[in-house]
Amino acid sequence: AAHADPKPTKDEVKSKVDKLYDEAEQATEAANGAKEKQGRLEKQIGQIQDQVARGQQELNTLRQGLGSLASAQYRSGGIDPSLALFLSSNPDDFLDKASSLDQLSATQAEALTKIQGKQRTLAQQRKEAQDKLKDLADTSKVLDDKKKEVQGKLGDAQKLLNSLTAQEKAALASDESRANRSTERPNLGKDVPAS
């Protein structure tokens, strides 16, 4: 034979409802904190993505400059410098060009170093953005969980209140109104106390 649970008393219902409302309030506060964190993360992600876009544009510009230098060297041919000096009709002109080529090579090496540094920076920024996106997804999940928890607690409280009879609900409401009146402070007026 099945036994029915005894119907809770008005005081038990009130204490359970109060407890559920307190838990719902705590869950709401946690949800608000998660929402604030979500906003901060979205802002940080936007800033990082802007930095990555600007960095990628700079990297592309560096690559184009390096590519044009490499193609110019390729077109000039890969003749050994000593042979080119020997075959040159004007050695002074050749030495000037060789000095310029040496400076171009140094410029190319510097450009390569910049490209490598920019690639490392972009990779780090992309990883940071991915980490923030993961954190954002986790925060969104926490926010959804807290919202569900709040709704569940409030639903449970409503079910408990619905289990009361009309007479018990009226008695509970009058008890709460008396409690609210007793916590109100009396108005003492705007008179300044005598010195």
Here the tokens at position 19 are 């407890």
Question: Residue 175: CB partners within 8 Å, gap ≥ 6?
Answer: 14
- Provide the sign of the torsion angle of the four alpha carbons 135, 138, 144, 148, taken in this order: negative
- Residue 78: inside a domain, yes or no? yes
Which CATH number goes with the domain that contains 30? Answer: 1.10.287
pLDDT digits (tens, 9 = 90+) for 104-162: 667 767 777 888 888 888 889 889 888 988 888 888 888 888 888 888 888 888 888 78
- Residue 65: inside a domain, yes or no? yes
Per the structure, the count of domains in the chain is: 1
In which domain, by residue range, is 104 found?
A: 12-163
pLDDT digits (tens, 9 = 90+) for 148-188: 888 888 888 888 878 777 777 777 777 776 666 555 555 54
Here the tokens at position 83 are 């042979």
pTM over 0.75: no
